Structure 1
Amino acid sequence: MEEIHQDRTFQPPAGYIYASGWRILAAVIDFIILFFISFLIGLVFGVVLSILGSEQETIELYSNIVGGVVGWLYFALMESSEKQATLGKAAIGIKVTDMNGQRISFLRATGRHFGKILSTIILLIGYVMILFTKRKQGLHDMIAGCLVLKERK
């Protein structure tokens, strides 16, 4: 099991600040990208299932499952990659790190992704927290032990 050393005095590396409002723009870009990816995959998946004789409800169920898996893999794989960012985050110079400023694992990125469900179902309070916490962390960031940093221009 990965040992976690959280430096409570951690300051962002030179050239970075804690990301806050910029995260909204990154989320919009990622939403647009995921919408088109999911739409295309769902379309292909739906056509194949229709050809196989599946009913509409079954097609919708499997399309939703595939969409959820695509979203999870998009965020978890990209945020745990060398870039440490989704396409939306990379476009505006944001990256996800652990509490020590290091690259996160796929498992931690997965926890962060699914932590967003909790941030959402409590009336988005988990996201609003970003505006009020010292390190601009949402609930899902705190759960996963992550920071989101923005390149200072």
Structure 2
Amino acid sequence: MPQSYILVINGKPEGPFSIEDLKSLHVKPGDFIKTPKMDDYKEAQEMAELRELFGFAKPSLLMQYFGSFDQRLMASALDWFIIFGIFVVIAFVVVIVFISDKEVRIVTTISILGCVPLVKIIYHIVMESSAKQATFGKQMLSIKVVDMQGNRITAGTAIARNVCKIFSVLTFFIGYLLAFFNKKQQCLHDMMAGTLVIKERLF
């Protein structure tokens, strides 16, 4: 079934319109439009199929689209909670079911929980370079990681971004606070890896 679109005309939603209808209406890049399946309207230039059809230029990333520091902080807290929670459950099951010696239980628990930081880095690399472009925490906050053009990052860029977080930490977390002092709200590791964190609405 052909795709249909709802177009905002003079402040009111009209449609549905077919592609041919949109052509006759002379849709402009800044016109707000959506498909029946979309939750919110986007500018026509934000939709890849309409950019291709009408020859619109891909819009630059505007300031209001960058993920804020509090969104990123909350997403990070959620990710820590998810991963640490999973490992606590694993440690609990392993020491209760398979280990009876008290000292061995303590050592095993510490060893299992000690893997959390490494697993979190791998988790970020895999999730941020995936089709979702975001960890579960970021998905809950509707933000994602992109390159400087707003495209999905590669696994190599995801590795660089997460390894560079070491420098954000070694600067006594000043690297994270840099997000307050630049228009694109990049932390130090974002600057080093050439990445941005944006709100889901754009693309």
User: Are 1:144 and 2:160 matched, yes or no?
Assistant: no
Letter in 2 for 1:84: Q
Indicate the residue corresponding to 1:19 in structure 2.
67
The CA deviation at 1:90 is 0.7
Q: Secondary structure of the equivalent of 2:151?
A: coil
Q: Does 1:111 align with 2:160?
A: yes
Letter in 2 for 1:141: D
Cα separation, partners in 2 of 1:64 and 1:31, compared to 1, 3 Å: closer
How far did 1:33 drift?
A: 1.0
- Give the SS at the match of 1:147: strand
Instruction: In structure 2, give the amino acid aligned to 1:145.
Output: G
TM-score (norm 1): 0.76
SS in structure 2 opposite 1:23? helix
> 2:48 aligns to what?
none
Q: Does the 8 Å CA contact 2:87/2:113 hold for their aligned counterparts?
A: no
Report 1 or 2 for greater relative contact order, CA contacts < 8 Å, sequence distance ≥ 6. 1
Distance 2:163 2:191 in 1: 12
- Kindly indicate whether the alpha-carbon contact (under 8 Å) linking 1:85 and 1:96 is maintained by their aligned counterparts in 2: yes
Whole-Å separation in 2 of the counterparts to 1:120 and 1:58: 27
CA contact (8 A) 1:42 1:67 kept: no
Inter-CA distance 70–42: structure 2 relative to 1 (3 Å threshold): farther
Q: Give the gaps of 5 or more residues in structure 2.
A: 1-58
Q: CA deviation at 1:69?
A: 2.8
CA offset at residue 64 of structure 1? 4.5
54 and 73 in structure 1: CA distance in 2 versus 1, 3 angstrom threshold: farther
Larger radius of gyration: 2
Q: How far 1:110 moved relative to its partner?
A: 1.9
Q: CA RMSD in A?
A: 2.8
- CA distances 1:82-141 after superposition (whole Å, capped 9, x unpaired): 000011111121010111211112222122122222212211101100111121100111
Is 1:70 matched with 2:119?
yes
Aligned pairs for 1:1-153 (under 5 A) are: 11-12=60-61, 17-21=65-69, 22-44=71-93, 50=99, 55=104, 58-59=107-108, 62-152=111-201
How many residue pairs are counted as aligned between the two chains? 142
Deviates more, 1:29-38 or 1:58-67: 58-67
TM value normalised by structure 2: 0.59
Answer 1 or 2: which has greater helix percent: 1
In structure 2, how many angstroms separate the alpha carbons of the residues matched to 1:12 and 1:107? 22
* Unaligned ranges ≥5, structure 1: 1-9
**Secondary structure of 1:82's match?**
coil
Alpha-carbon separation, structure 2, partners of 1:106 and 1:48:
37
Which portions of structure 1, spanning 4 or more consecutive aligned residues, are displaced by more than 3 angstroms? 41-58
